[in-house]
Structure 1
Amino acid sequence: MGTFLQARRRHLCVKEASFEDAEKAGDLWNAIVGLGRDPPMRSFAEAVRDTVPAEYMAFLALDEVGAAYAFGLLWKAGKHVPEGASAFEMRSAAREEWATFDKKAKQVKHLSDGFGWDLSAAWAQVRQVDAAGDDMDRVERIARLAGRMFASLRGAHASKVHGVSGEVYSVEQGNDVARLLPAETVLLTDPQIEIVALERIASRRAAQYAVRGATKKSKGPLVLALDESGSMSGIRNEWAKAAAVALARVAAAEDRPVAVVHYATSTVVQVVKPGDSAGVVKMILHFLSGGTAIGLALGVAVDQVKALAQKGQHGADIILVTDGIDRNEEEQKKSVDAASSIGARLWTVAIECSIAEDSPLRKQAAQYTELNDKAMTEGSSITLLAGAT
């Protein structure tokens, strides 16, 4: 843990407090992190030390960013404690701020778990969101949903077998050599019983993995076109942003570049790296509002696939999320055809709406899914896109 002098150089709130009263600021910092001499008797710093929640003592001693957040809260509170306040009054004021800190600490934990960040990065983003006056509760909800989605995707991946294309869900009889169980392939290595194994395969009685869906042998860029028209606000937007985070985390583990195309009647492109905490929060909070131009969005998505594919990865996936369609089907078909021409698969998610069966957004999609309001709160809803990861 850094000393007060180090904290003063690293954290603006500590630096500014030291300009006001360096001695009091030093006493408060030491009281929070458990360093230095005991604070003066009947001081606010003493009240802070005496009321530090036991569950955060070790954390505050080790995480300087979290300690700086606590310092900012308590320094402001201390300035409002009247002269001559009793020890009881000072402890009450300190406990109120520790309660606020506890709420933030829980939000930080949810961000850390849901987005896969370390605690220091999560604390830094909480401070940035609060400072900007943005909706921290919304960011927390998205983080918690993204965490559940990521767990669901990992579970779907766990049901896959190396070398087998698709999600394994059972065992069946057949003659697909690529999906034979190990017990069957062993038979082929023994010259004395090889003929038995071949006969079982020829008669479609060999034990093989039963799979559903399909996975590409080559996984290239992942581009998510997220509808940010006015009607996508609320839980619809939260589902889309949580899905983007979870999918990006899985893609990052496979070194797949990821881009998000925010769209309404205009587009904004953002490359997403799960470890870039500031970038992830920026993506989550971004919202264009307005109308919907799907053909435009898909055209931009195709351009992103081409740009990202220059890194040497091919076989891209484009995920389109929308809660309604515009009437420019000619532009939509043009963009879908362009995606197909470069080997990119389209995955269409229709949120609380239905896209016509003859629409290129549905007819030419590798998978088309309609999502209702109940599913949008469940982490397992992301498994509909597991094939894209």
Structure 2
Amino acid sequence: RAHAGPIWDFYQTGCSIRLLNPQAFCQKVWEKLSYLQEYVGNFCGANVYLTPPGTQGFAPHWDDIEAFVIQLEGCKRWRVYKPTTVLPDYSSHNLDGATLPEPIIDCVLKAGDLLYFPRGYIHQGNALADEHSLHITVSMFQKHSYSHLMSKALPNLVESAKRNSIVSRESLPLDFLNAVGSANIAKNDGSCAQRRDEIIGTMQNFLREMIEQVPSIVDQSADEFALKFIRESLPPCLSNEESNRTILTSGAKWNNESKTVIGVENIVDMDSQLRLVRRHCVRLVAEKDNKTFRLYFSVENTRVYHEVDLKSVEIRLTDAKNVKFLIKKYPKFCSANDLKFGDEEARLELMMGLYEKGILIAKTKF
């Protein structure tokens, strides 16, 4: 926990202050990040930096994210340099400014200005001598490249290839350890060299077979990749008007006249017009048997990064087909009568269940 007294003491001695998770404290930041992550399809985060006059919070470095710097108060001089590593998936250590070339951007941001630099571009910022600087950095596309998708896909490719390739399941040769390995690379033994070539050739053929399996596993791998987003993402930021059309304020309630509870089953019927609260807040994933499905959702996430575990519910095949319909229908509203699969009772039960979870929003207030 950070207390005001020590923080201002640090500030007075030239230290920068960094506020993590500003979306947890500021409704406007949460709202912007929530909409932005739906548009770009991956987690969007933010940090706020307060820098004393005439100081520099960080040495020159590059980051593993796409960065948008928005100046809120004061001024800050930014210098941006061409990357030395193209599209890195890791952030750099502190770099020596004396060894850097001439910057490609050298500018002073004032309140309201925005600066974008892509992943890997070296940058540094200095507060001017007579004015503090307050800025917010919005980040996105961290670990969101083809290589990260492939890291999910490769284990699935290996399993798929094993099922379809007898050769891949054969035992390794008896002299395997004598033919390959760091100590055996320079061996001139003819038999070992031949065995080494055979092993390499078999592995290359195995990889070619794996390439042929990509179309069959790409969806499974993409689902695994998407669950990371569902776990990380901010919950939907709803306006008051939207909130009034969800379970947050329009659910079961006490009826003073009848002295009974009016439940969701009394307000959601076959004609009720509903849709997903946000397109990106759910992910439908088939289990390995392809007979059962899990619906993962982010509506119960908090505004603090990774504060809760991944949430999901198991659903039946007919329900999964109807959920697919709801996903494709977004942002249009539809009713249980519009769903195509299952009997009337099952369709209504699905709509009520999703509404009670906060996954669906009504067209009008109940």
Fold similarity call, TM over 0.5: no
Report which structure shows greater RCO (CA 8 Å, sep ≥6). Answer: 2
Q: Give the TM-score normalised by structure 1.
A: 0.27
Structure number with higher helix proportion: 1
Structure number with higher strand proportion: 2
